[in-house]
Amino acid sequence: MPSLKDIRRRIGTVKNTQKITRAMKLVAAAKLRRAQENILKARPYAVELHEVISELAARADAEDHPLLEQREPRRVMMVILTSDRGLCGAFNTNILRAAEKHYREHKDKHEVFQLAVVGRKGRDYLRYRGIEVDRYFPGLDVGTALERAKEISDAILEDYLDDSLDKVWLFYNEFKSAMSQQIITEQLLPIRPMELPEGHEAAIDFVYEPSKREILDTIMPMYVEVEVYRAALESTASEFGARMTAMENATQNASEMISTLTLEYNKARQAAITKELLEIVSGAEALKG
């Protein structure tokens, strides 16, 4: 049975850990609030832009722009969004398991299968399992999401326009609530056209001003950057939500452990006091005899 000193030491250690988890929960909650505001502002614009681009892709011809061209997927890239830090529950584990499963199921179907990973946790997970990471980007945060999204989209567009890639998939956690995230697998490139009814007037192409090529050269790369930015915001909000929930659970577990250890300490202390009383009584009785 542990000594009273050992139990007191364990109680002190758990209390110190509880202070850390409580502080981390408050920090995550503050960052989640900012990330949630950002994603709620960006979602409507991103959704509307996606619909516009999908309809534009359906009206235009594939040869009008390289990002619309449906090629044979010989060279494929997966972009996986994870975090630099842990202590956020199953946030990283879920997305990485889904991405690893997709990779192992499809890697033999393509000549080249590249992996681009955002976040140190994703890079370390894949390297530990012997999976090569072709591109690595530092993790996301509330203040760096836009800058990182532009860096990622520029690298993807450069490879795609150079014919080094034929298809690009995006894997990320979509934010639902602080306790719920949904894994999303999205085809980023080539841009998927909206399915329009055959013979419908919507199938007629737009009239472009100043020119079709000039407009497509501007709006198509912008769409890719916005999609990556939205995914970055979703992933960031999901990470902070998962960390806040994990730290709240850890704080509650620490409280329960402190209660259990305190009860154990009181029992051990009472047993020690009872033992001392018995020794005193026994000694007094021995002196009388």
Nearest CA among 270, 257, 258, 260 for reference residue 4: 270
Could you give the C-alpha distances from 82 to 7, 23, 67, 97, 99, in angstroms and in order? 39, 23, 26, 12, 11
Strands (E), 126-214: 135-137, 167-177, 180-189
Work out the average pLDDT over 75-87: 92
CA atoms of 204 and 270, how far apart (whole Å): 87
Per-residue tokens: 70: 């449906």
* DSSP one-letter code for 201: G
pLDDT digits (tens, 9 = 90+) for 248-270: 999 999 999 999 999 988 888 88
Which letter, b or e, does each residue of 189-217 get, where b requires 16 or more Cβ atoms within 10 Å of its Cβ?
bbbbbeeeeeeeeeeeeeeeeeebeebbe
pTM, two decimal places: 0.84
State residue 236 phi and psi, 5-degree precision: -65, -45
Residues 14 and 71 both lie in one domain = no
Residues 42 and 176 both lie in one domain = yes
Residues 126 and 195 both lie in one domain = yes
Residue 59: which H helix or E strand, with range? helix 4-59
CA atoms of 166 and 135, how far apart (whole Å): 16
- Contact between residue 103 and residue 133 where contact means Cβ atoms under 8 Å apart: no
Average pLDDT of the residues of the chain: 87
pLDDT digits (tens, 9 = 90+) for 175-195: 988 888 899 999 998 888 776
Residues recognised as catalytic: 88
Residues 98 and 234 both lie in one domain = yes
| CATH number of the domain that residue 282 is part of | 1.10.287.80
Look at the chain and report how many structural domains it folds into. 2
Categorize the per-residue pLDDT at 136 as very low, low, confident or very high, splitting at 50, 70 and 90: very high
pLDDT digits (tens, 9 = 90+) for 141-170: 888 888 889 999 999 999 998 988 999 999
Could you give the C-alpha distances from 68 to 60, 119, 159, 193, in angstroms and in order? 9, 29, 15, 8
CA atoms of 272 and 266, how far apart (whole Å): 10
One-letter-per-residue 3-state SS of 225-256: HHHHHHHHHHHHHHHHHHHHHHHHHHHHHHHH
Among residues 204, 225, 242, which one ends one of the domains? 242
Residues 138 and 226 both lie in one domain = yes
| CATH number of the domain that residue 87 is part of | 3.40.1380.10
Q: Which domain holds residue 269?
A: 4-21+246-288
Residues 164 and 262 both lie in one domain = no
CA atoms of 82 and 238, how far apart (whole Å): 10
Q: How far does CA 207 lie from the centroid of its chain?
A: 41
CA atoms of 247 and 238, how far apart (whole Å): 14
Strand pairing class (167-177; 180-189): antiparallel
State residue 139 phi and psi, 5-degree precision: -65, 170
CA atoms of 8 and 10, how far apart (whole Å): 5
Residues 70 and 168 both lie in one domain = yes
Residues 135 and 204 both lie in one domain = yes
Q: Percentage of the chain with pLDDT > 70?
A: 95
* DSSP one-letter code for 110: S
- pLDDT of the residue at 208: 73
Residues 11 and 114 both lie in one domain = no
Residues 257 and 194 both lie in one domain = no
